[in-house]
Structure 1
Amino acid sequence: MLEQTGLKVSSRYIAQIKKKCGLDVGENFNLPKSKNARQPQCTPEKKEA
């Protein structure tokens, strides 16, 4: 993504967008310890990229 768009996009944001589009996402092995853990959301610029 950095080479194509100039934006650094984490794999967390990529997984969020894949899930939103209905694409297959791998299983997460690093789960949060509490049920109400805060998860950052992807910015609109990175969603468009």
Structure 2
Amino acid sequence: MATYKEIQEYVQLNFGYKPKTCWIAHAKEINGLSPMTATNRKDLNKREHPCPKEKQEDIKKAFQHFGMI
């Protein structure tokens, strides 16, 4: 399983931006993976910054690259 930092580096190298860790966690949920729960998360039932739809495919490609899905 790749770390959030590895996923951020992969996305930055291949797609030109660094995704927020909250986007990665949301994308993990969307793709059936178990995300880590941030210690500073205010509400476990609500996302402050969900992953934008146009970024989800890029992060999914990172998951595939690292063999997570």
Normalised to the residue count of structure 2, the TM-score between the two structures is: 0.54
Is structure 2 residue 34 aligned with structure 1 residue 24?
A: yes
% identity of equivalent residues:
28
Max Rg structure: 1
User: What RMSD in Å do the two structures reach over aligned CA positions?
Assistant: 2.4
- Specify which structure has the higher proportion of helix: 2
Runs of 4+ in 1 over 4 A off after TM superposition: none
Q: Which stretches in structure 2 are left out of the alignment for 5+ residues? A: 1-10, 59-69
Alignment length, in residue pairs?
Answer: 48
Aligned residue among 10, 32, 48 for 1:39: 48
Could you say if the C-alpha distance between residues 38 and 46 of structure 1 is closer, same or farther in structure 2, counting changes exceeding 3 Å? closer
Q: Which stretches in structure 1 are left out of the alignment for 5+ residues? A: none
